[in-house]
Amino acid sequence: MTNRIPLIAGNWKMNLDHMQAIALIQKLCWTLNDADHDYRAVEVAVFPPFTDLRSAQTLIDAEKFEIALGAQDISRHDSGAFTGEVSGAFLAKLACKFVLIGHSERRQCHSENNEVVQAKVAAAWKHGLVPIICVGETLEELETQGQSAVPVAQTIAALSGHETFGEFVIAYEPVWAIGTGKVATPQEAEDVSKAIRKAITEHFGAESGQSRILYGGSVKANNVAGFLASGEVDGVLVGGASLDAEEFAGISRFQKHIVL
């Protein structure tokens, strides 16, 4: 058993405008509150597009909802002539707790390499945000390098070379399982999670080794419990299924499927 609090994180990607965001967050929180969800036992967070964050923050604050808010990206810079970028300072002002960094869609479509990811992790810590560092291999990398090589290497690169260290979360998302309906098996997620934890502990010490490691890739209410049953995987990062309040609430209530 561990003391790590499971984290259920919903990455909305480029979906839902700010009005739709309000409706989804209301429905999600009402559903969870009706079910007496204990947010201290299972943390729930949503990651809307940047343009939704202010509305989401205002709603969460006004209604005293207990879900956490996060952003999908952060600039490595604090401020200045960086058209289109969003500073961690602005995210912190909007009460964001988390920020996703190095999602495979950003690595693939925006050429984010390990160096960029590492700089963004530093920016998150500088502004008091918890980075959720996304790692994962493509199908080709899986076939040529095996199961854990790429996610472990990406994790070490993101966390290396920092003068100061803060809280972080790792999200293992095999690229071949994102949005494809192809899910890693619970055993695969557990094995990679173990390999990442071992590497973090060796490189950065026992305390860092207690960080939460999530699985992501085609997670649904009907398969989430399998990933979280062993205690090696500390939560999930959910894409498509986080756009449906009832489905995401069902994922957040995964414990009802696990016989303890």
Q: Which residues are catalytic?
A: 103, 173
- In the complex, the smallest distance separating the C-beta of residue 105 from ligand 13P, rounded to whole angstroms, is 7
Q: Report the residue number, 216 or 250, with the smaller CB distance to ligand 13P.
A: 216
Spatial contact of 253 and 41, defined as CB atoms under 8 Å apart: no
Binding flag, residue 250, ligand 13P (CB under 6 A): no
Nearer to ligand 13P, 137 or 173 (CB): 173
> Is 102 one of the binding residues for ligand 13P (CB under 6 A)?
no
State the DSSP string of 196-216. Answer: HHHHHHHHH-TTGGGSEEEEE
For residue 175, the minimal CB distance to ligand 13P (Å) is 9
Residue 48 in contact with ligand 13P, rule: CB under 6 A: no
Pick between residue 204 and residue 248 the one whose CB is nearest to ligand 13P: 248
The residue whose Cβ lies closest to ligand 13P is 239
Shortest distance (Å) from residue 171 CB to ligand 13P: 7
- Tell the smallest beta-carbon distance from residue 176 to ligand 13P (Å): 10
How does strand 212-216 pair with strand 235-238?
Answer: parallel
Residue 197 contacts residue 159 (beta carbons within 8 Å):
no
From the list 28-36, 111-119, 157-165, 173-181, the region that binds ligand 13P by CB under 6 A is 173-181
Nearer to ligand 13P by Cβ, of 7 and 237: the residue is 237
Q: Is 173 in the site for ligand 13P (CB under 6 A)?
A: yes
CB 98 within 8 Å of CB 45: yes
If the CB atoms of residues 8 and 60 are measured against ligand 13P, the closer one turns out to be 8
The reply to whether 247 sits near ligand 13P by the rule CB under 6 A is no
C-alpha torsion 16→22→28→31, nearest 10: -140
Residues in 177-236 at the binding interface with ligand 13P, rule: CB under 6 A: 178-179, 216-219
* Position 42 contacts ligand 13P (CB under 6 A): no
- Residues of this chain that interact with ligand 13P (CB under 6 A) are 11, 103, 173, 178-179, 216-219, 237-241
